[in-house]
Amino acid sequence: MGMTERKKQILAAVIERYIKTGEPVGSKILLESLEFSVSSATVRNEMAELAEMGYLEQPHTSSGRIPTQKGYRYYVDELMCERALEEDQRRRIDMMLGTHFGDPEKLLKEASAILADITDCAVVTTTPTSAGALIRKVELVPVSRRTAIVVMLTSSGILKNKVCKTDTDITENIVQVFYKMAAEKFIGKPLRSMADIVLQSLVVSLGEYALAMSPIVVALSDLAQDAMKADIVLGGQQNLFNNSEISSDVFGIMEFLSKRDTLLNVLSGTNNGLNVYIGKENPFTPLQYSSMIVSPYTVSDSLGGAFGIIGPTRMDYARLVPSVKYLTKLVGEIISAERDE
């Protein structure tokens, strides 16, 4: 019993109808969706064979069929025709994200919110990892006599800042010493190189400025440590409560979404393009009735981070996959443009 062309078309029609209505699909209803003419009996036979092959199943209370996990998998891999984003939606995304040029973390928050809105799913995003990044720029912005904001930009596009209080006045001299030290010791150096022992010897080497510069150097070290960690941005968790098919699993999914290290592991293994995980293919029990679409974004030709959306297995894959692809591509381009500027 092989997968014939007719079976493929019937399977695709059942899945698309079920995604649309949430109701089991019967042979009579299906006849209206098919682009070829066959009898109701033929369709019934084909659906029975697709069930025997494990692609469809019959809920006890209905004469109609619904897709199995295997059916969805075959549909996503072999049958699905992706539906490109509509032009007005694309323009809306371009406009909303274009305003966050220069701050990758704000950009990712906005992108997550947009993706949650257009997919009705929960969204999880990782910020670009700066583990192997260089320090590209540092700035000292005095805001009062003894308070300044220290700013650091990495080569992977991450921007970090911290308020720093000093024990002495931040004079013009101090600011000049800061920029001279930054040019010699920090700019172009790996974030990893800012180890405590290096910082201690650096502060000692500043002589008369050691006392004034010490809190500023410590702030720079904290920013470097912070920038090296990829972080998680969440959006649209409330969408999970609105979906009857996964509402019983919501608290398990929410607990899963609170585990930062687990999420980083899930999303960091996706550097080979977009992946769709359906039902029990997800390695985590709370997601066994959900599907997850994960897509990486690249920053200047290297892996930046990834977007993941979590929703019911009855999600509209043909519409959602292009939305996730478009958003991840655009986010990567915006962060890359900022980094290469």
Tell me the per-residue pLDDT of 10-24, one tens digit each, with 9 for 90 and over. 999 999 999 999 999
- Residue after which a domain boundary falls, among 169, 193, 228: 228
Average pLDDT over residues 78-98: 90
Q: CB-based contacts of 86: which residues, under 8 Å, 6+ apart?
A: none
| Domain presence at residue 311 | yes
- Tell me, yes or no, whether 313 and 292 share the same domain: yes
Q: Within 13 Å, how many C-alpha atoms sit on residue 215's CB side?
A: 17
71: confidence class by pLDDT, cuts 50, 70, 90:
very high
Of all residues in the chain, the percent with pLDDT exceeding 70 is 96
Q: Could you list the residue range(s) of the whole structural domain that residue 207 is in? A: 135-228
Whether residue 162 sits in one domain with residue 122: no
In the chain, how many H helices and how many E strands?
Answer: 13, 10
**Which domain CATH number covers 154?**
3.30.390.10
Last residue of a domain, one of 186, 203, 228: 228
Distance (Å, whole) CA 150 – CA 27 = 67
The answer to whether residue 85 sits within a structural domain is no
Structure tokens at 334: 């915006």
Number of domains in the chain: 3
**CATH number of the domain bearing residue 296:** 3.30.450.40
Q: Is 84 a member of any domain?
A: no
Answer whether residue 269 is part of any domain.
yes
Q: Which pLDDT score, from 0 to 100, does residue 285 have?
A: 84
Same domain, 333 and 244: yes
Alpha-carbon gap, residue 214 to 177, rounded angstroms: 12
Closest CA to 124 of 331, 318, 307: 307
**Does 107 score more than 80 pLDDT?**
yes
Q: Does the structure show a pLDDT above 80 at 254?
A: yes
Residue 294 phi/psi, 5-degree rounding, is -120, 130
pLDDT (tens digit, 9 = 90+) per residue, 207-241? 888 888 999 999 998 998 888 887 899 999 999 98
Which range, 9-23, 120-134, 189-203, 263-277, has the best average confidence (pLDDT)?
Answer: 9-23
The pLDDT score that the predictor gives to residue 326 is: 94
Question: And the tokens for 187?
Answer: 């700019």
Q: What amino acid occupies position 182?
A: A
The stretch 79-92 carries a mean pLDDT of 91
Average pLDDT over residues 244-273: 83
Closest Cα partner for 228 from 151, 134, 163? 134
Q: What is the reported pLDDT for 103?
A: 73
User: Which residues 6+ apart lie within 8 Å of 304 measured at CB?
Assistant: 128, 129, 156, 157, 296, 297, 298, 331, 332, 335
For the entire predicted model, the pTM comes to 0.79
CATH number of the CATH domain containing 49: 1.10.10.10
Residue 308 has pLDDT above 90, yes or no: yes
Quick one: angle between helices 87-98 and 104-119, nearest 10?
150
Residues 234, 336 share a domain: yes
Across residues 293-317, what is the average pLDDT?
A: 89
pLDDT (0 to 100) of residue 174? 92
Interval 197-212 mean pLDDT = 80
pLDDT, tens digit, 9 for 90 and up, residues 150-190: 999 888 777 889 999 998 999 999 999 999 999 988 899 88
CB atoms within 10 A of CB 196: 9
Looking at the fold, whether 260 and 321 belong to one and the same domain comes out as yes
The reply to whether 224 and 234 lie within a common domain is: no
The whole-number average pLDDT for the span 132-151 is 92
Distance CA 46, CA 56 (A): 11
Residue 197 confidence (pLDDT): 56
CA 341/CA 335 separation, integer angstroms: 10
Residues 168, 264 share a domain: no
